[in-house]
Structure formats: C-alpha cells, structure tokens
C-alpha cells in the first residue's frame, strides 16, 4: 500500500449558469479590471489516501466524485494523481 | 492584445484548520472510504482576459488575488496561464 495525493477539480458544466462567477466578474470590473471577460468558480478538492496502485486510486476517486464530491447533473470533474 | 485563460487555485494555508474538508472526510468515512486520511477544499477560479503578454497577465492576476480573489491572511494562491 502506498500513499497518494489526489487533486480533484470540480467545475460547473459549461452550459450551467455560474452566478458566483458572475458576481466576481462584476466585482473585478468595479475594481477597474475591464480586461476580464469571463469568470467561473469551481472547487478544488485535495485528498490523501492509501491504495495499492494508481489505477485503483483513480477508479476509487471517480466513485467518490459521483457519490459525494460532485453533482454529475451540473458538474464535471477531473482527477489528477500526484 | 491576446486572450488568455488563467486558472487560479486558492487553498487554505496548511496551518489553517479546514472544517469543510473535515466534514467531507467524515462523509467519505461514513461511505466506507476508510483509506482517505486527509481532505482539504479550495477554490478554483477560471478567468478569461485580454492583455499584451503573459508576464503582464500574471502580474495583473496576482493583484486581483490579493485585492479580491484570495484572503492573503489565511489563503495561498497559485496562478497558471493556459
């Protein structure tokens, strides 16, 4: 068994509106950053877990994502093992 | 002027407690994923902006982070231009 660090990026699907991102975009414009044309906010989840090999880690984290970490209806996720 | 896509990762500093991460960790344990030993939750901010070159982009996004996107007292940020 080895310890792995996994980074999961959870983002809203491109077709889903992101009111939080829109608010941040407005705030940036108010601060004078007019060059910014789009902002989207996602989640970054860092996990530390032990498993026998990288393939199993990815398999397991995928399962965690669909069960708990992401909402597959409106969110996409990507998994990086470090 | 060129359009850049920038990814900003905002994470709590390692010394700062992460109650949200702890809650997710407990939930993962309740689902039977006992191999997970640590979970930390951060923010992922994707920006689309125009600027003359990559150096200026990084400079500007750093400024946005310290002014609005991150809380430098408790959070670290990293910037990736794509």
pLDDT in tens, B4-32: 999 999 999 999 999 999 999 999 999 99
E-only strand ranges, B1-82: 2-12, 36-51, 75-81
Q: Is B38 on the interface with A (CB under 8 A)?
A: yes
Interchain CB distance below 8 Å, B38 and A24: no
- Pairing type for strands B2-12 and A2-12 reads unpaired
Write down the pLDDT at residue A57: 96
Joined tokens for residue A58: 């990815």
B45/A44 CB distance under 8 A: no
What whole-number distance in Å separates Cα of residue B45 and Cα of residue B54? Answer: 18
Mean pLDDT, residues A5-29 taken together: 98
Q: What is the pLDDT of residue A19?
A: 97
Domain extents in chain A: 2-81
Q: Does pTM top 0.90 for this prediction?
A: yes
CB atoms B37 and A50 under 8 Å:
yes
Name the minimum distance, in Å, from the CA of A57 to any CA of chain B. 10
Mean pLDDT of B59-80: 97
Which helix (H) or strand (E) element contains residue A48? strand A36-51
Smallest CA–CA distance, residue B73 to chain A, in Å, is 19
- Residues sharing a CB contact under 8 Å with residue A35, sequence separation 6 or more, in sequence order: B49, B50, B51, B60
Which DSSP symbol is given to A49?
E
Do B64 and A39 make contact, defined as CB atoms within 8 angstroms? no
Which of the listed CATH numbers 3.30.1280.10, 2.40.30.10, 3.40.50.300, 3.50.50.60 matches domain A2-81? 3.30.1280.10
Which residues of chain A does B58 touch, with a Cβ-Cβ cutoff of 8 Å? none
Confidence of residue A66 (pLDDT cuts 50, 70, 90): very high
B47: alpha, beta or left, given left = phi > 0 and alpha = psi -120 to 50? beta
- CB pair distance less than 8 Å for A33 and B49: yes
């Amino acid at each position: 068994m080895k310890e792995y660090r996994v980074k999961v990026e959870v983002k809203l699907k491109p077709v889903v509106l992101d009111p939080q991102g829109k608010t941040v975009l407005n705030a940036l414009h108010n601060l004078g950053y007019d060059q910014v044309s789009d902002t989207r906010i996602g989640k970054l989840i860092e996990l530390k877990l032990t498993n026998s090999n990288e393939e199993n880690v990815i398999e397991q984290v995928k399962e965690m994502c669909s069960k708990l970490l992401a909402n597959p209806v409106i969110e996409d996720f990507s998994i990086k093992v470090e």
